Amino acid sequence: MTNLVLHEAVQSILEKNSDPDAIFTAILPVVGEVLQCDRCFLYLRNPQTKFGQIGYCWRRNQDIPDMREPEWKLEPAWLPQVDPLFAAALQTAPSIYVEDVETASPEVLNKDFEREHFGHRALIHAHLCQDQQLWGILQPCVFGQQRTWSESDRTFITQLENKLAPLAVAYVKGATDYSS
């Protein structure tokens, strides 16, 4: 799928839907196919209450673990100390592209944490931020092998971040207790 087709596929979803739920459901398979990844999930969070949920998950096949969570849960207070990727996201740092979990620097990620909780080998940790607050994380990933993320992959993710961040805000504000 070329960038032009990709752009058209994403634009089509955005033009046909205004409901964040419908958009998230439709876009994750597109992300998976465009990036040729094995799984892509979307974690949404309320930055005021620190409650979050993986509400959306696309998988290439049924052998890949489904990360969806049925309930919103309080983020563990220890998480930023154990997970450098999450700590970076909370600081609204630029998204992080990990080509190989096994060889990545411990400043970038906690290899043991990634193995235990996610099982992937390569990933993109795309931060959906607005007004210096983290509202969500889009995480496409690959299992079993390393992956070099191309410039077009990075451009695609940057475009998605810009489109999905306001939708994440709208979704979270509608689904949780958020006081403006």
Spell out the domain ranges in the chain: 3-175
Separation in Å, CA 107 to CA 27, 43, 68, 100, 104: 31, 22, 27, 14, 8
Confidence (pLDDT) at 178: 66
Confidence (pLDDT) at 73: 96
pTM: 0.93
Confidence (pLDDT) at 105: 96
Could you give the CA distance from residue 130 to residue 166 in angstroms, rounded to a whole number?
7
CATH class of 3-175: alpha beta
Residues in Cβ contact with 55 at an 8 Å cutoff, skipping those fewer than 6 apart? 24, 42, 43, 44, 68, 69
Confidence (pLDDT) at 180: 59
Which segments in the chain show pLDDT lower than 50? 1-5
Confidence (pLDDT) at 26: 97
